């Protein structure tokens, strides 16, 4: 009995590792690249179709983001099915888990790192915090975004970068630094193109703002493999952003005040 107990594994974990042995080894490396490329392509198409400048198009970043997230979720679902796994297994949520304290700590930590990164690198690079991410849009779209943005983000980003790519790269290379570093780099990089502005300062600011948070999240996930906690924390950040956009959309004068403070 003692010998047998050592060989017992979680069925979900067995299935995931089994599917990893037969999966195309290049997919975990391509998907993080795909996200950045997707935002660039969709951003370019939006500017061409809307006939707006890149600067004008920045107010629609949340709409572009939701669209890219939906495309990503569909692609992930296809890949998961092909490899014999599912979203449920990737997220690895277990009913009855008593992790409320851990989750709350992660949420607080993400808020501190997320807001700290934006303000810290904003002042370091610009001398102020850009207001690009909280521009007014039609109120009804802003209201819908409070639901669509957080949900689409957490099911597109974390399952791709950590739940899939990090775990697969670890299986393929057996190198924890590459397994963490590769997805983390591209996770931070994708934010450089949300919204899409071909300006070096903007790209650098967005990348550096999210890099500390992504590094910490990558390490946390590598150690405990609990994606659901990170998803809750990320959703809180996204809801906070969506609420700000809604408030600014209802009271556009607030945006003008914020904008004047950056001059």
Average pLDDT, the chain: 88
Asked, for residue 2, whether it belongs to a domain, the answer is: no
22 confidence band (pLDDT: 50, 70, 90): very low
* Predicted confidence (pLDDT) per residue in 202-236, tens digit: 999 999 999 999 999 999 999 988 898 899 999 99
Our count of domains for the chain comes to 1
In a domain, 4, yes or no: no
How many angstroms separate the CA atoms of 69 and 151, rounded? 9
Q: What pLDDT is attached to residue 77? A: 95
- Domain-located, residue 5: no
Is the pLDDT confidence value at 16 over 50? no
pLDDT at 103: 83
Confidence label for 23 from pLDDT (cuts 50, 70 and 90): very low
Specify if 182 maps to a domain.
Answer: yes
Find the angle CA(117)-CA(202)-CA(259) to the nearest 5 degrees. Answer: 80
Least confident residue range of 9-13, 62-66, 199-203, 244-248: 9-13
What pLDDT, on a 0 to 100 scale, did the predictor assign at position 263? Answer: 63
Judged against a pLDDT cut of 70, whether residue 6 lies above it is answered with no
Mean pLDDT, residues 178-197: 97
Whether 238 maps to a domain, the answer reads: yes
86 occurs within a structural domain:
yes
118-121-124-129 Cα dihedral, nearest 10 degrees: -20
pLDDT at residue 25, as a whole number:
84
> Is residue 87 situated within a structural domain?
yes
Query: Which domain does 151 fall in, by range?
Result: 10-17+24-260
Q: What is the pLDDT of residues 88-99, one digit of tens each?
A: 888 875 444 557
Query: What is the per-residue pLDDT across 154-166, written as a single tens digit (0 to 9) for each?
Result: 999 999 999 999 9
Give the mean model confidence (pLDDT) for residues 191-211: 96
**What average pLDDT does this structure show over 105-112?**
92
Residue 52 lies in a domain: yes
């Amino acid at each position: 009995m003692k010998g047998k107990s050592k060989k017992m594994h979680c069925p979900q974990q067995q299935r995931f590792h089994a599917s990893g042995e037969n999966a195309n080894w290049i997919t975990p490396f391509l998907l993080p690249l795909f996200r950045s490329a997707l935002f660039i392509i969709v951003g370019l198409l939006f500017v061409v179709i809307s006939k707006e400048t890149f600067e004008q198009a920045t107010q629609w970043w949340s709409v572009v983001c939701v669209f890219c997230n939906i495309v990503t979720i569909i692609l992930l679902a296809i890949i998961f099915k092909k490899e014999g796994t599912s979203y449920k297994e990737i997220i690895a949520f277990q009913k009855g888990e008593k992790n409320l304290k851990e989750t709350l700590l992660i949420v607080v930590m993400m808020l501190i790192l997320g807001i700290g990164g934006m303000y810290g690198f904003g002042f370091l690079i610009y001398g102020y915090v850009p207001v690009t991410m909280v521009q007014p849009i039609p109120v009804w779209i802003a209201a819908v975004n409070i639901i669509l943005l957080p949900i689409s983000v957490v099911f597109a980003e974390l399952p791709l970068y950590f739940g899939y790519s990090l775990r697969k790269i670890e299986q393929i290379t057996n190198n924890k630094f590459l397994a963490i570093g590769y997805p983390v780099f591209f996770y931070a990089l994708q934010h450089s193109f949300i919204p899409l502005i071909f300006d070096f300062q903007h790209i650098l600011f967005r990348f550096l703002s999210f890099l500390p948070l992504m590094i910490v999240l990558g390490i946390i996930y590598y150690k405990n493999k609990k994606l659901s906690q990170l998803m809750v924390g990320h959703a809180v950040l996204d809801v906070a952003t969506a609420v700000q956009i809604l408030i600014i959309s209802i009271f556009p004068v607030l945006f003008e005040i914020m904008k004047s403070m950056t001059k």
